[in-house]
Amino acid sequence: MINPTRGAAGPGEVDVPFLGVFIAYSDDPLPNGTSVVVYQELGSRTVRVQPIG
C-alpha cells in the first residue's frame, strides 16, 4: 500500500509488482505500508484489496 485507503470514505493506491500503481478500494481503512492482496478488478487500473493475514 503506497497511499492509505479510507474504507467507505475513499480509495488509496497500491503498487502491484510488474504492473504499476492502481487505485485501491477496501472495506476498512488501511494505513500506508499495509501488505494487501488484490481480490477484484473494478475497471481500468482500479482494484479491491484486503489486508494479508
What is the arithmetic mean of pLDDT over 34-49? 95
Give the model's pLDDT for residue 30.
Answer: 95
- Give me the domain span that covers residue 13: 5-51
Handedness of CA 15, 9, 46, 50 (dihedral sign): positive
In total, the chain counts a number of residues equal to: 53
* pTM for the structure as a whole: 0.90
pLDDT of residue 2: 81
**Residue the block writes with cell 481503512:** 29
Q: Per-residue pLDDT tens for 5-27?
A: 999 999 999 999 999 999 999 99
Q: Residue 50 CB: number of other CB atoms within 10 A?
A: 15
Q: Are 24 and 10 in contact, with CB atoms under 8 Å apart?
A: no
Q: Is the pLDDT of residue 1 over 80?
A: no
Q: What is the DSSP string of 19-44?
A: TEEEEEE-SSEE-TT--EEEEEEEET
As for how many domains the chain has, the answer is: 1
